[in-house]
Amino acid sequence: MKYSAVILVVAAALGLWWFLWGSAEAPVQTGNTYSSDVHGISFSYPDGYELSERDEAGTHTITLINKKDLPLPEAGEGPTSITVEVIPNPQNQTTEEWIRSSPLSNFRLSGGTPAEVLVGTESALAFAWDGLYPGTTIAQARGDKIYAFSVTHLSPEDPIRTHFAQVVASATFQ
């Protein structure tokens, strides 16, 4: 029984890895850097994306949208995007506690189990979900903050998934 559970977890992790990076295109130049001492994070992102920031209910959201998808529609759904959210964690929840309990995580739309991945060089948890668009969220609890990296896409071959993987791989924390 225990052996079967280990095999299931390994298979899920490999499946999530393939989902995130298996269909990736050739590397894209990441010529831009976001860095914030206030939010304790830095990452690189590809040319061709517009970065915007907003604060709402204590959460700081950084959004990357492909410039080809701009301007945003006035009366409709927005395009796929990459977001990095810096969320207060006053209860010092673990990553898994936050994923399973917070509606901000979208975990309730996943129907799966979080898999261990890396953000930069540090351990985090990832899961795929399906809402208006299919998406993936990778979260990491760091003291009094949760960092949630998310991407929405139209298809498994969508280049935004490769760009998301590059953002996540480049992330460093201060």
- For the full predicted model, state whether its pTM sits above 0.75: yes
**Whether the Cβ atoms of residue 109 and residue 131 lie closer than 8 Å to each other:** yes
Query: What span, in angstroms and rounded, lies between the C-alpha atoms of 119 and 158?
Result: 21
Any idea what the CATH number is for the domain that residue 15 is in? 3.40.1000.10
Instruction: Give me the domain span that covers residue 65.
Output: 2-173
pLDDT at position 21: 45
pLDDT at 131: 84
pLDDT at 29: 53
Distance CA 137, CA 99 (A): 9
**Residue 149: its H or E element:** strand 145-152
Report mean pLDDT in 10-residue bins for the chain, 174 residues: 38 42 47 95 96 96 95 85 96 95 86 89 92 92 96 94 96 93
Q: Are 21 and 165 in contact (CB under 8 A)?
A: yes
CB 148 within 8 A of CB 125: no
Closest among 172, 168, 62 to 125, alpha carbons compared: 168
Contacts of 165 (CB under 8 A, 6+ apart): 20, 21, 24
Count of domains in the chain? 1
